[in-house]
Structure 1
């Protein structure tokens, strides 16, 4: 699955660079949204086929909220540690980590402070999504099913949800969706908050 995704990405890059008709670029957002909705529809159908999935989620209870909380803390602290090596102030590095993979919003928000910071946020968070697509099946197989949600961050509810669902099971896919929703909701709060904090 990982190889198929990476091949699709490279074919997309090649097509966009050499062959994509420019008049279709005006409709690319519509095509992406339609494709994503269709993808999530099939994930939902797959989850719905598992009859016992909701009873499993009910059994887990509020403990599932620890998944997004720990991913959020780990993302921010990890970015701060990375910032040490790049001589980036703690608050700026933490703000980049608080993007949780949502590259468009975090980049726009941090571009208000500087274009370099916005660019770094974009590159960092889009890299997170690409790396997540490649490593989720490996993490699910060798480390753990719930741990496979962590690389995805905010994208656990949309672009990386299908690969999480395929690499784990329906109950983990629902936790993944909840995690993605929570982290996405926190991005517009935490990114400006981190920038406002002085260390």
Structure 2
């Protein structure tokens, strides 16, 4: 599955660069939204086949909130460490890590502070999403099912959810969706607060 995903991304990049004219990409956002909604619709159907999922989630209770909390803390700490390695202040590295994979929003927020940070947030969070697409099948097979949620970050509620669903089970899919929603809500707050620290 990882090879298929990687090939599709490469074919898309090459097609967009060499074959598809700019006029055909004017409505790309609309097509992406339609495709994403269809994917999420079928993920919902797949979840509904397992009747015990809701009961299992209820048993977890507030523990389900530990997933986005720990993913968020890990992403921010990872950003701080990575930022230190390349010479960023702790707040700059932490703010980039606080994008949680939502490359467009984190880049826009950080563009008010620095074009360099904005570009770095965009590149690092796009890379996180692409790596999630490629590595989720491997992680689910060789490391663990819940670990697939962490690499996806905020994208576990949308673009990465179908891949998580295909490679895990209904319970993990619901946890991933909840985690992605919470992380997405936290992005604007975390990025803004962390970058303002000195």
TM over 0.5: yes
Residue aligning to 2:168: 168
| Equivalent residues in 2 for 1:13-162, closer than 5 Å | 13-162=13-162
How many residues are treated as equivalent by the alignment?
198
Q: TM-score, normalised by structure 2?
A: 0.98
Q: Which runs of 4+ in 1 moved over 2 A?
A: none
CA drift of 1:22 comes to 2.1
Match of 1:99, SS?
coil
Residues 145-192 of structure 1 deviation map (CA, whole Å, 9 limit, x = unaligned): 111100000000000001111111001000000000000000010001
CA distance in 2, matches of 1:27, 1:145: 35
CA distance in 2, matches of 1:5, 1:142: 18
Residues 58-113 of structure 1 deviation map (CA, whole Å, 9 limit, x = unaligned): 11111111010000000000110111110110000000000000000000110111
Greater CA deviation, 177-186 or 77-86?
Answer: 77-86
Contiguous gaps of at least 5 residues in structure 2: none
CA distance in 1, matches of 2:8, 2:40: 18
CA distance in 2, matches of 1:130, 1:28: 18
CA distance in 2, matches of 1:129, 1:6: 12
CA distance in 1, matches of 2:112, 2:84: 23
Match of 2:67, SS?
helix
Greater CA deviation, 56-65 or 151-160?
Answer: 56-65
CA distance in 1, matches of 2:148, 2:132: 9
Residues 128-157 of structure 1 deviation map (CA, whole Å, 9 limit, x = unaligned): 001111111121122211111000000000
Q: TM-score, normalised by structure 1?
A: 0.97
Contiguous gaps of at least 5 residues in structure 1: none
Residues 28-49 of structure 1 deviation map (CA, whole Å, 9 limit, x = unaligned): 1101111111111111111111
Residue aligning to 2:192: 192
